[in-house]
Structure 1
Amino acid sequence: MGLLFAQFAAYHIDRCEAVGRRLAERAEVLAVEVATSSDTYAWEASGQTAAARKLVLFPGSNYDAIAWPRRLWAQFRALRRCDLVLIGIGYNEPDVIALSWLLRLWGVRVAVLSESKFDDKPRRAGFELLKAAALAPYSAAIVGASRHRAYFRFLGFRRRPVLPGYDSIGVARIRAMGERQLAPAGKPFAQRNFAYVGRFVDKKNLTELVEAFALYRAAAGAEARRLVLIGSGVEEAAIRARAAALGVADAIDFPGFLRADEVAQRLAESLALVLPSLEEQWGLVVNEALAFGLPVIASSAVGSADVLVRNLVNGYICEPGQPHSLAAALLAMGADEARWTAMVAASHARAWLGDTDRLADAVDVLLDPGNAEAQARIEAFWRDAACKSGLG
């Protein structure tokens, strides 16, 4: 079987490795990376895979600089002998549309990997019909959680399987990078601070986070904690300016863009992850936070909150555009060590839901629908991700 991604990051290697380990001695897993770099992501070149055979179609090249007909032909030649191909490139790309039809006509089953959900942006009926047509050759979808499944049901996957597991990470790898300092061990409760990890762009809603942090600092007084904003981006100047205007600039740390191991170590010593996004299809940093047992304060727009965060159990879910709500969550999180410790235990209990073994479960069921163990874990996942919309 094959897995296809435009460009590999460590997360993609995690997924290929998990599927390769699960199918060892049953099938060869081909991990296909189209190009080494892209205009969108500044990831370092990925390494080799031990459990899957890795193939880079255009080594040293930029994905966006390769004409789509060249990408199409190279992808088809690499994947045409597979029984099943998981496609992790946008199904709206012209080469991917053609590839999905070519592989299907060649007798290869194709499954789409997607984290799209209906509430990501305004939807237009005509465009949604075009999407449904583009998805016609796919025999299954592997998605994030409840809202993602509901969206694919809407797009025509009524009888075709829609399984969880796409938005997953190698929990063991993340813990190893964080030197296995799992909460509540490690840094004492009183010395832990709030952390954000991600790009500094408008949809991440960081100016509102700064406003909420200022409200929190005013309420918490001498017991107030610091806020660590890890990342970089075009909104950094605006964020710093807002912090200065509100008088909290000296309480916010800007360590910049950090290596993956440095991010893991920062998370391991944090009190909680804060992700206040206005738009967030998933948010893999939530998976990382749970790997260390951290509670999470997330906006309701965050897709991973469907399954990885339970309000008042292992974190708080706030409505975007409500800084007072976010401030109240910060205040509650930092005020009570017993409550925090209980939330840590709940995050540890949910960490398995974000591990790459969930993708391996989905592949197992697609290749062997009678696999009772994998099917049972998928059913347990859906119970934990109880669909709020009723469309699941």
Structure 2
Amino acid sequence: MSEKPGQSGNLPQVAILFSQFAAYHVDRVEAAARRLKGRAEVLAVEYATTSATYAWEPAEGIEHARHLTLFPGKSYDEVGHLARYRAAMKALRGADMVCTGVPYSERDMIALSWRMAAAGKRIVMMTESKFDDFPRNLARETAKARVLSPYKAAIVGGLRQRDYLQFLGFGDKPILPGYDTVGLDRIRQQGGAEAVRWEDRDFLFVGRFVEKKNLSTLLAGYARYRELAGYAAHGLVLAGDGELADDLKAQAGEGVEFTGFLRAEEVSKRLARSLALCLVSTEEQWGLVVNEAAAFGVPAIVSHAVGSRDALVRNAVTGYVVEPQSVESIARSMLAVSQSEQAWQRYSDATAERAHLGDTERFADAVEALFDPASEGATRAQQFWQEISET
């Protein structure tokens, strides 16, 4: 177990637990730690340094929270359930409140949540799951509601996540927004301040090349867009890699660029010079890249499945919400966003106005609200619900 020394004393301890830390996890724990400075110690806990699913770089920049890596140098998937349970119990024994973003279906998390609740800890679920992610089974959902009963509150992404937890029996338990956020200042610094000509802006996808990202339909929609736009068509950049890379490259026609996997800084630079972000997934709990695009005022074309549309995308205002299998809908949305520089600027300005909803200060609001229900953070969290409920 590795530990970065932090503050000490008799302050209450708020722990924030993840499987592993990426840059945006660091953004969140740092925002919460800054907000609670002098009132509580924030303990930032990650199980492992890497995982089989995500090629994130090891966490850096944790200065205001105390950082623990329970299994340094290891992959999360290599560590057994029992070992994870024991390590977490030991690390969290001094915490008064534990906010966990580890999947609640993991066996060790089920045991941990029940054991911590029995010990008098306040367990807070952090989740981006929503009912429409995939077909639900009533018996399974009923059992899930029982499993989740030790949790006393939740921090979620948006309205659909809130609705799903209420369906699972959260009732009057506090459910606060702000989970799916990134540090906008960090993203903007990474993107730089280079001026970009309108003619040089491209449509952009960032992510893994897997089935649920619906990239074959996106390519078909882009091909149709080129037919509609003619000589004025902008390019499409696919940034990422994955199991479908060869098939996608075989399908791609004129105007499509593949960059391969990009580091976080390179992603930010690509976003800063983009025309619009395209995320037309058939399944997408949130899609943090929409937050990152908004940091630069880059409008987004997203499918109904994308969770972040609830907060950050307003149809025909900050971008477009499309049917994921509708090639024509994707193409027409691309055409609308790219019809002129003046029209694009209106989308961009509207996007920039909503960007604050995707910033980690909203996560800090939620943590502060749970720590002190009479705080300004609690007021801002309720304002968040009001703002994203408005059409």
> What TM-score, normalized by structure 1, do the two folds share?
0.95
4+ residue runs over 4 A deviation: none
Query: How much has 1:129 moved relative to structure 2?
Result: 1.0
Partner of 2:382: 379
SS in structure 2 opposite 1:25? coil
Query: How much has 1:363 moved relative to structure 2?
Result: 0.8
Partner of 2:6: none
Q: How does 1:21-32 map to 2 (within 5 A)?
A: 21-32=34-45
On the 8 A contact 1:6/1:89 being kept in 2, the answer is yes
Whether 1:54 aligns to 2:59 is no
> Letter of the aligned partner of 1:240 in structure 2?
K
On the 8 A contact 2:337/2:347 being kept in 1, the answer is no
Whether 1:150 aligns to 2:154 is no
Distance 1:223 1:213 in 2: 13
Q: How does 1:151-230 map to 2 (within 5 A)?
A: 151-181=164-194, 186-230=195-239
Partner of 2:276: 272
Count residues with an aligned counterpart.
378
Q: How does 1:281-296 map to 2 (within 5 A)?
A: 281-296=285-300
Query: How much has 1:130 moved relative to structure 2?
Result: 1.5
Of residues 340, 352, 356, the one that matches 1:352 is 356
Distance 2:188 2:91 in 1: 34
On the 8 A contact 1:147/1:387 being kept in 2, the answer is no
SS in structure 2 opposite 1:29? strand
Query: How much has 1:387 moved relative to structure 2?
Result: 8.0
Query: How much has 1:4 moved relative to structure 2?
Result: 0.5
> Letter of the aligned partner of 1:57 in structure 2?
L
Query: How much has 1:235 moved relative to structure 2?
Result: 0.9
Show CA shifts across 1:280-331 (max 9, x none). Answer: 0000000000001101111111000011000011101101111101100001
User: Unpaired runs of 5+ in structure 2?
Assistant: 1-13
Show CA shifts across 1:203-240 (max 9, x none). Answer: 00111011111111011111011100000011111112
Of residues 247, 254, 258, the one that matches 2:258 is 254
Partner of 2:55: 42
> What TM-score, normalized by structure 2, do the two folds share?
0.95
On the 8 A contact 1:146/1:387 being kept in 2, the answer is no
Query: How much has 1:376 moved relative to structure 2?
Result: 2.6
Distance 1:251 1:127 in 2: 46
> Letter of the aligned partner of 2:303 in structure 1?
S
Show CA shifts across 1:143-165 (max 9, x none). Answer: 01011100000001111011101
- Shift of the 99–387 alpha-carbon distance from structure 1 to 2, 3 Å rule, reads farther
User: Unpaired runs of 5+ in structure 1?
Assistant: none
Partner of 1:87: 100
Distance 1:342 1:42 in 2: 36
Show CA shifts across 1:151-197 (max 9, x none). Answer: 0000011110111011000000000000145xxxx212222111110
Partner of 2:342: 338
Whether 1:19 aligns to 2:10 is no
Distance 1:128 1:203 in 2: 22
Query: How much has 1:379 moved relative to structure 2?
Result: 2.0
Query: How much has 1:384 moved relative to structure 2?
Result: 2.3
Partner of 1:5: 18
Distance 2:266 2:109 in 1: 35
Of residues 136, 152, 177, the one that matches 1:123 is 136
Of residues 37, 46, 50, the one that matches 1:33 is 46
Distance 1:387 1:205 in 2: 29
> Letter of the aligned partner of 2:69 in structure 1?
V
Partner of 2:331: 327
SS in structure 2 opposite 1:317? strand
Query: How much has 1:43 moved relative to structure 2?
Result: 1.3
Distance 1:241 1:66 in 2: 38
Partner of 1:231: 240
